[in-house]
Every structure is written in structure tokens, then in C-alpha cells.
Copies of this chain bind each other. A is one copy, B any other.
Amino acid sequence: MKEIENMTKAEWQVMRIIWTLGEATSKQVIEVLERKTEWKQATIKTLIIRLQKKNFLKADESKRPYVYHPQVTESDAIHQSVNNMFDNLCCMKKGKAIGDLIQNSDISKGDIRDLISLLQEKEKTAPETVKCDCLEATA
């Protein structure tokens, strides 16, 4: 599994489109991104090339124009990115940070119910308190 930590914000935009479409030509990516950003075509091509170098995308060169395929799943990318971000946080603050996310995200009723049962399950074995480890040697 690739290291996704180094997927930048701009690269995420490109990947989202290709994940959603399943596969895509540069033209398809450019069409979408010219609507949602101010980027020039050349910029978007550069991003695609960098994503190939990082092995997040692979071009099927048997077809012309090339068709780009994701080499990482969206779930893996999301998993790694959000957890990587959370590694920055004081572990004592993670609960509240999740609360912040819940408040600021649109979530479907179904997902909310799933989260509630997950939490109910987790509560059973949850610690009474979580200690700050910001000054500890535990990296």
C-alpha cells in the first residue's frame, strides 16, 4: 500500500474526479477542474504527471488519449489521510475534534446511525479519561 501522506490538496482534486469516474482521460479531468478552479490546462496536466510519478495513477498507454487509472483506492487514501492528520493532535483532544467534524459535515441519517452504534459499542471498553501525551517520549 502506497504512502498517501504526500498527496497534496491540488492532487486530491484530481484524484477525486478519477475515483468518481473510475478512470478518466486528461481531458475529462480538465473539463471538471476548469469549472471548479482557476487552473490552466497545463497545470492540471502537471498534476496528473506528478500523480503518475508518485504511483497514485497509471496511464493505460494502449489507448490514445491515455486513460488514467487510480492505483490507490479512495478508501485507502481517506483512511491514511485523516489518520495522518489526527496523528498531529494531542490524543486528549481527538474526541472533541471528531465532534467538530460531525458538526461541520453533512452526514446522512444512515451514516449517523452507524456512527451511533459504533460509539455505543466503543463506549463499553472506553477509558474513563485519556491523558495528554504531548510531552511524552512516545513520539
Contacts and interface: CB of A to CB of B under 8 A. Distances in A.
A82 interface: yes
Interface in A122-136: 122-123, 126-130, 132, 134-136
Contacts of A86: 82, 101, 104-105
Q: How large is the interface on A (under 10, 10 to 19, 20 to 34, 35 or more residues)?
A: 35 or more
A75 B94 CA distance: 11
A40 interface: no
A102 B98 contact: yes
A42 interface: no
B126 A109 contact: yes
18 contacts: A16-B90, A19-B134, A21-B135, A35-B137, A36-B139, A37-B139, A74-B90, A78-B89, A83-B100, A83-B104, A85-B85, A94-B107, A95-B115, A102-B118, A108-B129, A112-B119, A112-B122, A113-B123
